[in-house]
Amino acid sequence: MKKQRNKGTVGRKESAGRAHGSAERETGIRSSSKRSKNRSTGNLRGARKQQAREIAGLPVSKNDEVVIDIIGMNHDGEGVGRADGYTLFVAGALPGEKALVKVLKTKKQYGYAKLLELREVSPDRVAAPCSIYDKCGGCQLQHLSYAGQLAWKRQHVIDALERIGKLRVAETGDAGAVLGGDGASEGAGAGTGTGAVVSEAVRGGNGVSGDRAAEVSAGTGVVKVAANDSSGVTTVGFGGYELEGEGLVAAVEPSAHNGIVVLPTLGMAEPWRYRNKAQVPVGVTDGALVGGFYARGSHRIVDMETCLIQHESTDDVVARVKAIGRKLGITAYNEESGQGLLRHVVVKVGFRTGEVMLVLVTNGQDIPHVEAWIGLIREQLPQVVSICQNINTKQTNVIFGDETRVLWGRDVIYDYIGDVQFAISARSFYQVNPVQTEVLYSKTVEYAGLTGRETVIDAYCGIGTISLFLAQHAERVYGVEIVKEAIDDARSNAELNGMRHVTFEVGASEEVIPRWKEQGIEADVIVVDPPRKGCDPRLLETILEMKPERVVYVSCNPSTLARDLRILEDGGYRTVEVQPVDMFPHTTHIENVALLVRK
């Protein structure tokens, strides 16, 4: 009887089971009509799903659970798999893995799925050290070994150059390997870092069992997968890197026959705690003031106790500001109502100097108990040398408003990139990873080929970081930037460093640079560092008209880099080399610097 009763309540709500349980216990009979009805309902539901698939012309529909092989990663760091030829993007899945996934959303040519269980695990999978990694949207790749991240980023650049720019990339040997050790500490045994279940069949060992859609080199933990497929989705695994000493070095030597040399990504010896700026949104959870980061794909705030990619000082400052705010009864801004005072807590840190700036972004002019707040911050956070308030009363997602005032201390903090000192204000742009910024700028100087006699033009110069770095090795440097406040900072930084051979001008590069040419200024080298959208077409035309011997292109977007390199190549330049630099470990972002010379 007990067996019959349990079968009878499967798939029904617990309350319904209790309501009908006594009757079933009395009769000891499970109604055959109910059983038939449940079967009919299930059959009808299945038929409807099948009909929906047929109407849509897709092999899967929403809520289907399917097992797929992950053959690559897209530019958002999502695993790419196929169900009967239909592409599914799966957050948290890695190339070479076999995964049980649940379809969340379908479109005509692709869909999205949730990772439920790993049947086969990549040897390059690691346990994400961050406790809120699966909730916070700040990092996307903590579940991938750092060597794997660097190799994927290089391949992402290659893929963009080939597919978007239609550019030939030089062969560099076997760059499709996954180097993840034996998998015991970094692979399957370390966990998935995604919240997905790992099948018992693949725990331990080297994280590989059963048939693979990839070739596994026995005893090495190296997995090789196909390079590209017709869809344009990158399906190369991770390779080209080995751990050696304090950092990462290339495991393959690039050799250019015909094509652009894309060098192995320059990574960090210690890829944690690298950010010098945090912009922490503030909200209310269970009646308490909280501050952290937005959950993936939403504006729901995940409270943060620590962030492993932020400087250690940031954790302390944010925690104490939240505690002081709660103590003083400070209200948090509500996006929907537009009410509440504190919107963001912004922290800037000088890596070399140790100086800290705190900026309170408020929805109004007045801060209650402001003197008490300043006093407590000064008492508890002696490293803070500047406390500022930025007023933003607009109902917008933009963090800063137009007005900034100093509540206490200085209006700037100082830091260095190499030997160049910079003053950093509340609103000024400054590279967030100063360690890798020096690596990037050193490569820029190398590509510029400076001997001390050259004239250099720096388009999109910002606050003059690249300009002043180049000025150490050039005869004259001219920087142009459309944002007036940035040029003000650039001029101040030039004066701070005693560099009188640097000129900065406000304006659009495509308008200012031709005017300089008319004034007789001829550039030996032009350096561009545009925003993500890439160079303005008129600037590219200007470069082609000026015909500098070298162009050095610094880019934060491989897609627009590839597009612009194609235009410059068609206009008489040859792209010699591209150097990816990992400015943002554990995220999908990649910085590049490219060298072009006249053909």
pLDDT in tens, 322-370: 999 999 999 999 988 999 999 999 999 999 999 999 999 999 999 999 9
401: CB partners within 8 A, 6+ apart? 361, 390, 391, 392, 393, 394
Q: Is the pLDDT of residue 223 over 90?
A: no
Tens of pLDDT, residue by residue over 510-548, are 999 999 999 999 999 999 999 999 999 999 999 999 999
Q: Are residues 85 and 6 in the same domain?
A: no
Q: Which of 39-53, 228-242, 582-596 has the lowest mean pLDDT?
A: 228-242
What are the structure tokens assigned to 140, written together?
Answer: 């996307």
Residue entry with tokens 């649940």: 102
Mean local confidence (pLDDT), 77-98: 97
Share of the chain above pLDDT 90, in %: 70
Angle at 375 between CA 319 and CA 293, to 5 degrees: 20
> Greater confidence, 195 or 446?
446
pLDDT at 462 over 90: yes
User: Which pLDDT belongs to residue 159?
Assistant: 96
Is the distance from CB of 246 to CB of 267 less than 8 angstroms? no
Cα(179)–Cα(239) distance, integer angstroms: 6
DSSP-derived secondary structure letter, 341: S
Average pLDDT for residues 95-122, to the nearest whole number? Answer: 97
Per-residue confidence (pLDDT) for residue 50, from 0 to 100: 59
Instruction: Give a yes or no: residue 57 inside a domain.
Output: no
Q: Record the tokens describing residue 592, joined without a space.
A: 């590049």
- State which of 215, 238, 262 marks the end of a domain: 262
Helix (H) or strand (E) holding 560: helix 558-570
Residue 41: pLDDT band (50, 70, 90) is low
Are 324 and 185 contained in the same domain? no
> For the residues 495-502, what does the mean pLDDT come to?
98
Q: Specify the pairing of strand 573-581 against strand 261-262.
A: parallel
Overall average pLDDT of the 127-154 stretch: 95
- 303 exposure class (CB count in 10 Å sphere: 0-12, 13-18, 19+): middle
**Number of folded domains that form the chain:** 4
| Residue where one domain finishes, among candidates 228, 262, 296 | 262
- Give the end-to-end CA distance of the chain in Å, rounded to a whole number: 87
Question: Do 307 and 276 form a contact (C-beta atoms < 8 A)?
Answer: no
Alpha-carbon distance of 302 to 315, in angstroms, equals 14
Asked whether residue 270 is assigned to any structural domain, the reply reads no
Domain-located, residue 60:
no
| More confident: 8 or 499 | 499
460 annotated as a binding-site residue: yes
* pLDDT tens digits for range 371-422: 999 999 999 999 999 999 999 999 998 999 999 999 999 999 999 999 999 9
The total number of residues shown for the chain amounts to 599
Containing structural domain, residue 33: 2-52
Give the list of residues 6+ apart from residue 203 with CB closer than 8 angstroms, or none. 188, 189
268 belongs to a structural domain: no
Same domain? 44 vs 170: no
Evaluate if residue 128 carries a pLDDT over 90. Answer: yes
CATH number of the domain encompassing residue 365: 2.40.50.1070
Query: Model pTM greater than 0.85?
Result: no
* Interval 159-217: pLDDT, tens: 999 999 999 999 875 443 333 322 222 333 334 455 455 444 333 332 222 332 333 22
**Exposed e or buried b per residue across 262-281, where buried means at least 16 C-beta atoms within 10 angstroms of its C-beta:** bbbbbbbeebebbbbbbebb
Q: Are residues 477 and 360 both part of a single domain?
A: no
Q: Known binder of ligand: residue 69?
A: no
Angle CA(385)–CA(391)–CA(397) in degrees, nearest 5? 110
Residue pair 492/517 in contact (Cβ under 8 Å)? The answer is no
Q: Is residue 131 part of a domain?
A: yes
- Taking the C-alpha atoms of residue 119 and residue 123, their distance in angstroms, rounded to an integer, is 13
Q: Give the model's pLDDT for residue 545.
A: 95
One domain, residues 564 and 447: yes
The Cα–Cα gap between 339 and 341 comes to: 7
pLDDT score for 55:
52
CA distances (Å), origin 549, targets 1, 261, 536:
89, 19, 20
Confidence of residue 46 (pLDDT cuts 50, 70, 90): low
Sheet holding 261-262, edge to edge: 261-262, 573-581, 591-598, 550-555, 525-528, 455-459, 476-481, 502-506
Same domain, 576 and 536: yes
Q: Is residue 422 part of a domain?
A: no
Chain Cα centroid distance, residue 135: 15
**CA 484 remoteness from chain centre:** 28
pLDDT at position 32 is 41
**Greater pLDDT, 301 or 249:** 301
pLDDT, averaged across the chain: 82
Active site residues: 556
Residue 286 annotated in ligand binding: no
The pair of three-digit structure tokens given for residue 437, joined into one six-digit string = 């910024």
What's the confidence (pLDDT) of residue 171? 84
445: CATH: 3.40.50.150
Strand bridging mode 197-198 / 110-120: parallel
The count of C-alpha atoms lying within 13 angstroms of the C-alpha of 201, restricted to the half-sphere facing its C-beta, is: 9
Alpha-carbon distance of 400 to 392, in angstroms, equals: 6
Tell whether residue 389 is among the known ligand binding residues. no
| Same domain (yes/no): 553, 585 | yes
Same domain? 322 vs 285: yes
- DSSP one-letter code for 136: B
Q: Is residue 423 part of a domain?
A: no
User: Do 258 and 213 share a domain, yes or no?
Assistant: yes
Give the domain-ending residue among 203, 235, 262.
262
Instruction: Examine the pLDDT at 241 and tell me if it is beyond 80.
Output: no
CB atoms near residue 48 (< 10 Å)? 11
Left if phi > 0, otherwise alpha if psi is -120 to 50, otherwise beta: which for 200?
Answer: alpha
**Token duo for residue 522:** 């001829």
Give me the percent of the chain exceeding a pLDDT of 70: 76
In a domain, 570, yes or no: yes
